[in-house]
């Protein structure tokens, strides 16, 4: 049976990449060793690391003179802490826009940093705790905040930014769930971080892309939490996740061959439109997110009846449409349709939705 994986993360990887991994697994690059066995100090790994770094900057159209790329552990969640420790060093004040669960987590962790003032300068939280839109951007006073933090794609809520805040405050983003899946003017950001397991690689790797001007600004941080120390050691202060970086490099190459971010974003829009159009015309299923800021990557939907939702998830699973159960915070269903999800996969999902709707009038 053909199956399609709609998981939010860890998530689907390009089939071609998995086949290449399989083919090379026992003998990486004629070394007679597996990529799982090689040293992070070896030239074999150094080539992979340098290649991945170069590809990321090229895909984002960023200059290597201006930006550095760090390959870290600890997930996007560790960046909730590392970011303020490293970047909030002038005003000791940080501004956040709250657009959902992960924004809230970022805010809560920043608030634990001693001496840091954390202001939620805009929020789209509804009275009942749900989020269905992206808020209007506030006018921030100049030279007051060290950074403005946004979550570009709200994995659980199913919303995303299309326009970026116009601000003189350095813009930083948690881009975990639409990293290289939606087009942004990446040079508008001072720093972008992303857990790799949504749209790039297996879990265990986090990317931080940052302006080099932020390096060397803070002293006394523990090395592992220090962007400058990590940068100096080429992200190998401790043993880096060699396999994850290798898979990331293969996925980046795959993305380049597909035509880059602009092209995949176009395909992602095409996939998302197909699903949203179906949901908007459905009498049974519904997506509650403001159409102006619907995510290209994560599409939550409900029937309005918990038992029917459960029946849908069960029958979908039996039909090979996997991991459609919604996040426990919002219930219902969620289809994550990252870069590696094919148009065909979304078409099959829409056909199944239609069949289920006809059978459950």
Residues that bind ligand PLP (CB under 6 A): 9, 75-77, 102, 151, 155, 174, 176-177, 195, 198
Say whether 187 is catalytic: no
Q: Which is nearer to ligand PLP, 161 or 254 (CB)?
A: 161
Do you find a cis peptide bond into 276, omega within 30 degrees of 0?
A: no
Residue among 265, 114, 116 nearest 182 (CA): 265
Q: Which is nearer to ligand PLP, 89 or 130 (CB)?
A: 130
Find the shortest distance in angstroms from Cβ 305 to ligand PLP: 27
Q: Which is nearer to ligand PLP, 203 or 348 (CB)?
A: 203
Alpha carbon distance 299, 327 (integer Å) = 11
Catalytic entry in 53, 68, 146, 174: 174
As given in the structure block, the two tokens for residue 20 are 């290449």
Say whether 254 is catalytic: no
DSSP alpha helices (H): ranges in the chain? 15-24, 43-59, 75-87, 101-110, 227-232, 242-258, 260-281, 306-318, 343-359
Find the shortest distance in angstroms from Cβ 244 to ligand PLP: 11
Find the shortest distance in angstroms from Cβ 160 to ligand PLP: 10
Find the shortest distance in angstroms from Cβ 236 to ligand PLP: 20
Q: Indicate the SS3 state at residue 247.
A: helix
Q: Which is nearer to ligand PLP, 178 or 287 (CB)?
A: 178
DSSP state of 136: P
| CA dist 195 → 1, 90, 122, 202, 351 (Å) | 31, 27, 24, 9, 32
Which sequence positions are flagged as catalytic? Answer: 102, 174, 198
């Amino acid at each position: 049976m053909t199956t399609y994986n709609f998981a939010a993360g860890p998530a689907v990887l390009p089939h071609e990449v998995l086949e290449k991994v399989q083919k090379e697994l026992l003998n990486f690059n004629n070394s007679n060793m597996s990529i799982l066995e090689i040293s992070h100090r070896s030239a074999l790994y150094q080539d992979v690391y340098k290649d991945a770094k170069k590809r990321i900057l090229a895909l984002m159209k960023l200059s290597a003179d201006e930006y550095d790329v760090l390959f870290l552990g600890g997930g996007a969640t560790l960046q909730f802490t590392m970011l303020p420790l490293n970047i909030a060093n002038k005003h000791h004040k940080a501004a956040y826009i709250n657009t959902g669960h992960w924004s809230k987590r970022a805010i809560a962790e920043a608030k634990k940093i001693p001496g840091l003032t954390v202001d939620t300068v805009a929020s789209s939280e509804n009275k009942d705790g749900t989020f269905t839109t992206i808020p209007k951007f506030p006018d921030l006073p100049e030279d007051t905040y060290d950074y403005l933090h946004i979550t570009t794609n709200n994995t659980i809520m199913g919303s995303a930014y299309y326009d970026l805040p116009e601000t003189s405050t350095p813009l930083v983003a948690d881009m975990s769930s639409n990293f290289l899946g939606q087009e942004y003017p990446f040079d508008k950001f001072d720093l972008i971080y992303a857990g790799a397991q949504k749209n790039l690689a297996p879990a265990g790797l986090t990317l931080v892309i940052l302006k080099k001007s932020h390096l060397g600004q803070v002293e006394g941080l523990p090395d592992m939490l220090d962007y400058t120390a990590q940068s100096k050691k080429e992200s190998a202060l401790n043993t880096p996740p060699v396999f994850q970086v290798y898979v990331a490099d293969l996925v980046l190459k795959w993305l380049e061959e597909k035509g880059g971010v602009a092209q995949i974003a176009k395909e992602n829009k095409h996939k998302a439109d197909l699903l949203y159009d179906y949901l908007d015309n459905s009498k049974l299923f519904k997506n509650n997110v403001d159409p102006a800021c619907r995510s290209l990557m994560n599409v939550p939907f409900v029937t309005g009846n918990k038992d029917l939702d459960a029946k849908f998830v069960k029958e979908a699973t039996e039909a090979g449409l996997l991991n459609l159960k919604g996040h426990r915070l919002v219930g219902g269903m969620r289809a994550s349709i990252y870069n590696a999800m094919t148009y065909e996969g979304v078409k099959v999902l829409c056909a199944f939705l239609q069949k289920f709707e006809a059978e459950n009038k």
